[in-house]
Structure 1
Amino acid sequence: MDEVTPLLPEAILPFRLLKVPHVAKFGTVATRIFYLDDSGTVDTGFIVYGWLEIDIVYWSRALRCWLDFRKKLYRDTGIPADFEIHSTKFINGRDRPSTDARWNRSKENRRVVAQQALAQLAYMPSARAGAVYRCTDKKGAAYGEERAAVYTATLHHLDRQLAGSGDHGIIVMDGDGSDLSYQREHRKLKLATRHIVEDPWFAASDTNQPVQVADLLAYTAYQATLKHAGKKFMWDWWGRHLPAADVPLHL
C-alpha cells in the first residue's frame, strides 16, 4: 500500500478568509445561541463543558460558512459533509470517516482536519468559543452529581454573562431531553431576572453540525486542561487556533 502523505502544519488554514465583525449593538438587545457539549471522564476526574456561541441574527451566515467548510473538506479528504465528526473517536483514529481507506489509516490526517475545524471558527460570523472545567476525586454516582453541579455553575456563568451585556440566550445541547435534570436547573433561574431563555433545547449530534463543533470545543478544552502525556499534541490547540477565546475557566 502507498503511504499517505499527511498535510503539512502550514496547511491548517481556514477555508473562508473574509472576517465579519461581531454584532454591533447600538442600543439593541442581541440573542445568542449556545451550542453546548461536555467532555471528561470519571477516571481522570475532569468535567468540562464547551460551547459554540452565535448571535442569532448571523446564525444562517455562520452555518453557511461551516457547511461550505464541510463541502471543501469532502473534496479534499473524502469525508462526507454529513459524517458526524465525534472528536474522541475521530482524533484517536476510530471509525472510517473518509471514503479513502488510505486517508483513514493516518492519525496525522485526522489531527490536521480537527485543527482546520477549530481555525474555521474565526471566520464564522459572530461565532465565539468558550469552556469551563472542574476536577474532582468523586467516583460513581457522586461523579455524576458533580457533573450536574458543574452544569448548574455553567448555566449561571452564562446567565451572568448575558445579564452583563443586556442580552438573552438559548442553550442547545446534545441529547434527546430524557434527562430532566437540565430542565429543572433552568427552571430554578429567577424568571424576573434570568437571561437564559426557556428550557434547554436538545439536538442529536449526528444530525446537528453546530453541536458537533461544541463537541470538538469541549474535547479540545479537556485536553488543554488535563494535559495527558499521550495527547501532548493537543495541549496548545485551544490557545493556538482559538486566540480570541478566553482560556477554559475553572469553576
Structure 2
Amino acid sequence: MYFCYVDDSGADQGRTLTGLLVPEEGWSDLLHHWLEGRRKLQETWGVPKNTELHAVDLVKGRGRPCATENQNKSFGRPARIAAHDLMLRHLAKCESVRVLTVAGGTSRIATVYRAFVSHLEVWALEEETRVVIMCDGQSGPDEVEEVGQEKAQDVWRQAIRGAKPYRDAHRSLPLASRRVLEDPVMQDSRYSQLIQAADLVGYAAFHHLMLARPEVWPKMTAMGSMSKAYKRLRHHWLPGYGTDGVVWVDGDASS
C-alpha cells in the first residue's frame, strides 16, 4: 500500500495537484530524509524544524521564519531559493518516493482532483497496490477547550463541507475494484511535514509547467530555479504518466 501526500498550486485558469507517493515500508525513510533537510535548514539559516514551510512564502520572501532577527535579515531571496532546493534534494534521496503532478486549464481544483484520482487508480491497478490519500486541508479545531464547543462545531462543519468535492471523487469510484481507498484524509499543513514537502514539490512543478505552457499564465513569470528543483526528482516521476513530469488534462475533463 502507498500513502500519497497531496497539495495544489497554480493560479487563475490553470491549477495543479502534486502527490508524493511512498510505500508503507518506505514511509519512515522519506520522513528521515525530509527531517535531515530540516536539520540542515536550521543549521544553515536558523529556520526551526517545526516552522511551517510554505513554498510561496519561502520563495517570495514573505514572513520571518528564522529564529532571530539577524538570521531573518540574512535569509534573503537567494538564500530562500537555495533552501527550497536543499529540501527537494533531500526528498530525492528517498529511493522509494514517487511523484505525480496532474494539471489542467481550469480554475476548479475539484476537476483536477478527479483527474488526479483517476490516474492514481490506473497506476495502482498496474502496480497491484492500493493508495490512501492525505490532502492539505482543514481538519478541525486545534483545541476544543480553547475555542469553545459551539465554535469547534462550526469549524468541524466547515472542514467537512470543504472536503466534499474530494470525498465525491473517491466515492464515485467502483467499490468492487477501486484502488484509492477510503475518503481523503485532510491534514493541516502546519502539523504535517510531508504535506509541506508536497507543497514545496508542487510549487516547483507549477513553475516547471509554466515554462512549458506560458500561454496558460500570460501574466506570470516562471522561475527557472523552481523548474530545476523539480527536475531533481525526475527519476521519481511516475513513468508513463505525463510529459516531462506533468500530466495535462483538458479543463472540462472528468466534469
Q: What is the TM-score with the length of structure 1 in the denominator?
A: 0.79
Among 195, 206, 210, the alignment partner of 2:179 is 195
Secondary structure at the counterpart of residue 60 of structure 1: helix
Secondary structure at the counterpart of residue 202 of structure 1: strand
Among 150, 166, 181, the alignment partner of 1:182 is 166
2-side partners of 1:129 and 1:84: how far apart? 21
Among 106, 122, 126, the alignment partner of 1:160 is 122
RMSD over aligned Cα, in angstroms?
A: 1.6
Secondary structure at the counterpart of residue 206 of structure 1: helix
Count of aligned pairs between the two proteins: 210
Counterpart in 2 of 1:242? 233
Counterpart in 2 of 1:14? none
Among 220, 228, 236, the alignment partner of 2:204 is 220
Deviation of the 1:166 alpha carbon: 0.6
- Is 1:59 equivalent to 2:57 in the alignment? no
Q: Percent identity?
A: 29
Between stretches 47-56 and 174-183, larger displacement belongs to 174-183
1-side partners of 2:178 and 2:171: how far apart? 10
Ranges in structure 1 where 5+ consecutive residues have no aligned partner: 1-30, 137-142
Q: Contact 1:46/1:226 (CA < 8 Å) preserved in 2?
A: no
Deviation of the 1:68 alpha carbon: 2.5
Deviation of the 1:236 alpha carbon: 2.9
- Is 1:233 equivalent to 2:225 in the alignment? yes
Provide Cα deviations, 1:49-72, integer angstroms capped at 9, x if missing partner.
011111111212321222232123
Secondary structure at the counterpart of residue 190 of structure 2: coil
Q: Contact 1:103/1:109 (CA < 8 Å) preserved in 2?
A: no
Deviation of the 1:218 alpha carbon: 1.2
Provide Cα deviations, 1:147-179, integer angstroms capped at 9, x if missing partner.
211110110100110001110010000112422
Q: Contact 1:152/1:185 (CA < 8 Å) preserved in 2?
A: yes
Secondary structure at the counterpart of residue 80 of structure 2: helix
Deviation of the 1:92 alpha carbon: 0.3
2-side partners of 1:244 and 1:204: how far apart? 29
Q: Which amino acid aligns with 2:23?
A: D
Secondary structure at the counterpart of residue 102 of structure 2: strand
Provide Cα deviations, 1:123-150, integer angstroms capped at 9, x if missing partner.
12511222111124xxxxxx33xx2111
Matches for 1:9-158 after TM superposition, within 5 Å:
31-42=1-12, 45-105=13-73, 106-136=76-106, 143-144=107-108, 147-158=109-120
Counterpart in 2 of 1:6? none
Please state which structure has a larger fraction of its residues in helix: 2
Secondary structure at the counterpart of residue 238 of structure 1: helix
